[in-house]
Amino acid sequence: MTTAPLVDVQELVKHFPGERQWLGLGRPRSVVRAVDGVSFAIATGQTLGLVGESGCGKSTVGRTILRLLEPDAGHVSVAGSDVRALDGRELRALRRRMQIVFQDPYGSLNPRMTVRQTLAEPLTIHRLARGPEVGRRITALLEEVGLDSSHERSYAHQLSGGQRQRVGIARALSVEPQFLVLDEPVSALDVSVQAQVLNLLSDLQQRRRLTYLFIAHDLAVVKHIADHVAVMYLGKIVERAPASALYAGPRHPYTTSLLSAVPVPDPRSQRQRIVLSGDVPSPAHPPAGCAFHPRCPHPLKNDRCRTEPPALREVAPGHLAACHFAEQPL
């Protein structure tokens, strides 16, 4: 990439202190390392898909970038601003350029506000429109996300899941951001509606030259929308590559297993399904060495994996993997 990336994240860390036992009086439990040294960059107009299973820290990454959660360490820059160094007023100004769409279209809209009130609020806060201009902006926004102005007076409970998610997207777009964090934006939707919303997100990206961090657990959805993909496991990125390279030739055994576990809607598919044994370990007690080693199906797995954490290193141009055996993938 020749131009500077719009979003640049270096060695991002977010730890949550464990709760204290015995009603808050005992010894604190061990720290949960939700995000443990995550780095990536996203160029303007591109989509990075951030993939992983529940508890891997992918949502925490999205929230710490926007400083909805305060990061503990690392560097985040969005559109040239050092996000961690900003004070309250500067941060509010930057929030105009970066927005988030949440997974749950039921929980992320205020049930006491109409669609119009929901969309008018950010316009007022950021002083982007006044008087009749507010109404014009809202009508245009609704049209852009595929709703009509009859929905303006509806409350969230009167809308279907897909319509609510469109309102969530319109709310994020209302301040004309450059960067959107999309946190599982389609996983609560039915497949036919999911396709509509994915198409909408692609159209909006092209029309407005938006940059997306697309957080998801579904590798097929990410393949559809992402230019680059990063796979997370227990707070760390274990593989990062251009989407085409990652899907054609994954280098980390976790990525390979994830890909093989996705059911393909074709009964003739002869794919070999790798079934990982065991559950994801707790991020409060990640295994020593390579965190994936207790579940790793790689035949070359040895003592080194149990003791020495593999570094995320470049194994092919632009293709990074954190595995001692990335040169001999599964």
Measured at the CA of 281, the angle between CA 15 and CA 75, to 5 degrees, comes to 30
- Shortest reach from residue 299's CB to another protein, in Å: 19
Q: Out of 124, 244, 302, 328, point to the residue binding another protein (CB under 8 A).
A: 244
CA 101 to CA 321: how far, in whole Å?
29
Q: Out of 24, 131, 267, 299, point to the residue binding another protein (CB under 8 A).
A: 267
**Looking at beta carbons only, is 12 or 246 nearer to another protein?**
246
| Residues 269-298 interacting with another protein (rule: CB under 8 A) | 269, 271, 273-277, 279-280
In the structure encoding, which two tokens stand for residue 253, read together? 């055994």
**Looking at beta carbons only, is 109 or 120 nearer to another protein?**
109
- Beta-bridge mates of residue 82: 77
Phi, psi of 197, rounded to the nearest 5 degrees: -70, -35
Cβ neighbors of 192 (< 8 A, separation 6 or more) are none
CA 102 to CA 98: how far, in whole Å?
13
Residue 291's closest CA among 280, 303, 278? Answer: 280
Number of residues that bind another protein (CB under 8 A): 49
Number of neighbouring beta carbons within 10 Å of residue 219: 20
CA 149 to CA 140: how far, in whole Å?
9
- Shortest reach from residue 159's CB to another protein, in Å: 10
- Shortest reach from residue 48's CB to another protein, in Å: 15
- Shortest reach from residue 115's CB to another protein, in Å: 16
Q: Out of 259, 289, 304, 329, point to the residue binding another protein (CB under 8 A).
A: 259
Q: Are 197 and 166 in contact (CB under 8 A)?
A: yes
**Looking at beta carbons only, is 78 or 243 nearer to another protein?**
243
Q: Is 206 in the site for another protein (CB under 8 A)?
A: no
List residues binding another protein (CB under 8 A): 53-54, 160-163, 190-196, 198-199, 202, 217-221, 223-225, 243-244, 247-248, 257-269, 271, 273-277, 279-280
